[in-house]
Amino acid sequence: MKTLIVAFGGNALIKKGQKGTAEEQLENLKKPLGSIADLLKNHKLIITHGNGPQVGNILLQQTSNTEVPQMPLDICVAQSQGQIGYMIEHALDQVLTDRGIGDDHLFLTVLSYVHVSSTDPAFQNPSKPIGPAYPENKSKEFGYPMKKTAKGWRRVVPSPLPEKIYQRREIKKLLEDNFIIITCGGGGIPVTKENGKIKGIEAVIDKDLASAKLGEHVKANILLMVTDVEGAAINFGKDNQKFLKEIKLVDLKKYQSEGQFADGSMGPKVQAAINFLESGGEKAIICNINKIGEATLGTSGTQITK
Ligand code: ADP
Ligand code: MG
């Protein structure tokens, strides 16, 4: 049995142009989870996922009501892990039951905190936009850093590097017992330590980098990053754009050093693939959400090996 980590991008839950109702999100999950159910015969499985739109909605719900106290970002991330974990479990239950194997697999969502260094340089440069967009005059009312984006003025938070997942030992035990584990949602709840005690912080960790770190902790064999394009491309968006198929780590690093993979989107996926392979993983794959089965067989997506 190989251990497979599937990292779902935002489009697994909400497609472009959708509002993101509960019904839409549950329906969207069925197809990719169906493909994943087919992999359970020969894989132990961990599912990780993004939370951008969901945590954005939680923040909007908070700011549109002044009667209840606002929660800090780490608690909002925890909330999003709960709601998305439940939706993934719900859809998983449906696809497994449809296949007549509803009683064969146990699954569990694990709330996860991820340690980041309080001296991470990201804290000097909050760069990750989160939550709703506001007009410029309104943006001055908030007590946190805001940045102008294509959508309007948005809150920005630091995006520090994941150093350690606190629940790694629990996750390992669950894997040994063949649980399907849903964890590291939204990159995990960012925490640092103060006087030896954990302390939640207002930041967002990249979910692909967190998934690679988890892979290192549990000695996963394969990291499958599922997104809305066919894989990693060179000359992305240009006439001579070319999606990479099978590629060795050294060649991928060469393209990375040329700046072929955009920060905040394909960049972290490529970096996660590199980190995963350099820390003992066998294979990293970046693939389209509709081609999960083919990608695990090696016939679709960007297949990266040492
Ligand atoms: P996810 O929610 O799956 O993490 P992202 O938006 O973060 O999705 O990353 C996928 C996006 O990366 C693609 O939709 C594409 O627009 C963008 N992208 C940037 N550079 C590249 C590249 N070199 N090759 C492929 N996609 C790229
Ligand atoms: Mg992303």
Ligand 2 centroid–CA 141 distance in Å is: 29
Count CB neighbours of 280 within 10 A.
Answer: 12
Atom of ligand 1 nearest to the CA of 230: 25
pLDDT band at 66 (very low <50, low <70, confident <90, very high): confident
Of 189, 294, 274, nearest to 232 (Cα)? 274
Ligand 2 centroid–CA 265 distance in Å is: 5
Domains along the sequence of the chain with CATH? 2-115+163-196+207-220 (3.40.1160.10)
pLDDT band at 105 (very low <50, low <70, confident <90, very high): very high
pLDDT digits (tens, 9 = 90+) for 194-208: 999 999 999 999 999
Pocket of ligand 1 (CB under 6 A): 9-10, 50, 227-229, 232-233, 236, 260-262, 265-266
pLDDT for the residue numbered 32: 97
Residue nearest to ligand 1 atom 10, measured at CA: 265
Backbone angles phi, psi at 13, to 5 degrees: -105, -45
Residue nearest to ligand 1 atom 18, measured at CA: 266
Query: Mutate which of 254, 266, 289, 291 to test ligand 1's pocket (most atoms within 8 Å of Cβ)?
Result: 266
Q: Tell me which ligand sits closest to the C-alpha of residue 225.
A: 1
Residue nearest to ligand 1 atom 13, measured at CA: 229
pLDDT band at 144 (very low <50, low <70, confident <90, very high): confident
pLDDT at 142 over 90: no
pLDDT band at 143 (very low <50, low <70, confident <90, very high): confident
6-10, 20-24, 73-77, 131-135, range with the lowest pLDDT: 131-135
Atom of ligand 1 nearest to the CA of 226: 3
Catalytic residues: 10-11, 128, 207, 269
pLDDT at 97 over 90: yes
pLDDT at 92 over 90: yes
pLDDT at 132 over 90: no
pLDDT at 139 over 90: no
Q: Tell me which ligand sits closest to the C-alpha of residue 11.
A: 1
Residues 6+ apart with CB under 8 A from 286: 225, 227, 231, 232, 266, 269, 270, 273, 301, 302, 304
pLDDT for the residue numbered 102: 92
Residue nearest to ligand 1 atom 5, measured at CA: 265
Of 177, 55, 45, 164, nearest to 115 (Cα)? 164
What gap in Å lies between CA 188 and CA 148, rounded to an integer?
26
Ligand 2 centroid–CA 29 distance in Å is: 17
pLDDT digits (tens, 9 = 90+) for 158-185: 999 999 999 999 999 999 999 999 999 9
pLDDT for the residue numbered 256: 98
What gap in Å lies between CA 74 and CA 184, rounded to an integer?
13
pLDDT digits (tens, 9 = 90+) for 12-36: 999 988 999 999 999 999 999 999 9
pLDDT for the residue numbered 173: 98
Residue nearest to ligand 1 atom 3, measured at CA: 9
pLDDT at 137 over 90: no
pLDDT band at 101 (very low <50, low <70, confident <90, very high): very high
pLDDT at 299 over 90: yes
Q: Tell me which ligand sits closest to the C-alpha of residue 302.
A: 1
